[in-house]
Amino acid sequence: PAAIQAASFSRPTRPTLTPPLTLVTGATGFVGSAVARALLARGHRVRALVRRGSDRRNLTGLDLDLAEGDLSDEASLARAAAGCRYVMHVAADYRIWVPNPDAMLRANVEGTRAMMRAALAAGAERIVHCSSVAALGLTADGTPADEATPVSEAAIVGIYKKSKFRAEQAVLDMVRDQGLPAVIVNPAAPIGPRDIKPTPTGRMVADAAAGKVPAYIDTGLCVVHVDDVAEGHLLALECGRIGERYILGGDNLLLRDLLGLVARTAGRSPPHQAVR
């Protein structure tokens, strides 16, 4: 009978649950704003840590709370983390070259330690730390590496990569020694909308589209859409294992093929390989 069928498919009434409050550091940035958007779409309440005077165009129209603070100001991090069930630590100084390496180390390494301490003190149930594939090891034969590929700081070239390696090790140390409930994600080179700064990867794509890359070297990289990176953060939050790390990658491309694809899409001639 229709009445029985209707009863069979009726849903039980459940009490309304308050959506979790989640802190996102670096929320004004390229990856951070994508993570904030993904959290909102998943039903989270989002608190965004923003620096005073920062460019907030990536947050325009989003229903979230703003907490002014800085990775160098532990008191501001404590205020931002207060009452948050989850923390997504995405903020970082992402530049290939800097005139003052110490400033990058303070932001990426000491700033990460400070954020982890604040999250731990606030009682956060789960933390996702955004590291980088730059912190992973490389294989001797050039085949793609994975999360278990051995790595040592001595083999890492460049202050940005070293800073991300040290930050990741600091998080792992706190997981082991202090019970920090953190999961690590290692994004590859992100591309996509809202790269307003732009990031080094975004600058490379923009320059190739504008015909400003006359030549390239024989190398490759892994590129991934920024929205896939954001989804990877949420999957790490929901399903990741404490103390584990997860590569967030997309397509492994030769630099020749990537620059050629961008140039041809923009109606430009592809660049030539640099002569050594």
Task: Give all strands (DSSP E) within the chain, no chain letters.
Answer: 21-25, 45-50, 65-68, 86-89, 126-130, 182-187, 189-191, 215-216, 220-225, 245-248, 251-254, 272-273
Q: Is 94 a catalytic residue?
A: no
Q: Is 276 exposed, middle or buried (0-12, 13-18, 19+ CB in 10 A)?
A: exposed
Are 3 and 198 spatial neighbours (Cβ–Cβ below 8 Å)? Answer: no
| Separation of alpha carbons 198 and 247, rounded Å | 22
Q: Is the peptide bond before 181 cis (omega within 30 degrees of 0)?
A: no
- The residues, any chain, with a CB within 8 Å of residue 190's CB and separated by 6 or more, are 30, 31, 199, 201, 223, 224, 225, 226, 229
Which residue among the candidates 86, 94, 160, 216 is catalytic per the annotation? 160
- Exposure on the CB side of residue 72, measured as CA atoms within 13 A: 9
Q: Residue 133 has which token pair?
A: 């594939």
Active site residues: 160
